[in-house]
Amino acid sequence: MTGTLESKSCTPCRGGVPPLTREEAAAYLANTPDWRLSEDVKLIDRRFTFANFQDAFAFVRQVSELAESEGHHPDIAFGWGYAQISLQTKKIKGLHENDFIMAAKIDRLFSPEKNG
């Protein structure tokens, strides 16, 4: 299903839909196993590690370009050797399939051999 998630595009969320339940989020999480589900089931996050600041910055730039093309924007913190990314659908104050689509696409950008 990861391939399926990667092949999808984020759809605009206008609100009015319920956020994913813990069980629904867990099913999606099985396809993005390096991401962590928050205790309150409102977001997923992942920490990426890099050899230096420049590599972390280059990755964050790639993620920002992906976010613009998908119209779904994560929260990002980064510094020397790391980038911390969290995803949630703010309009519904929780998780939506879009968050897992973005997680799968972000995973595809990250290459541990190149970035670790």
Residue 3 has φ and ψ, to the nearest 5°, of -55, -40
pLDDT of residue 34: 96
Mean pLDDT of the chain: 90
Boundaries of domain holding 96: 2-7+19-115
* Position 96 in a domain: yes
CA distance 28 to 6: 12
pTM score, whole prediction: 0.88
87: confidence class by pLDDT, cuts 50, 70, 90:
very high
What is the chain's length? 116
14: in domain: no
pLDDT for 1? 44
The two structure tokens encoding residue 103: 């997680």
Do 99 and 88 form a contact (C-beta atoms < 8 A)? yes
Mean pLDDT, residues 88-93 taken together? 93
Domain count, the chain: 1
- Of 20 and 6, the structure prediction assigns the larger pLDDT to 20
CATH of the domain at 86: 3.30.1360.20
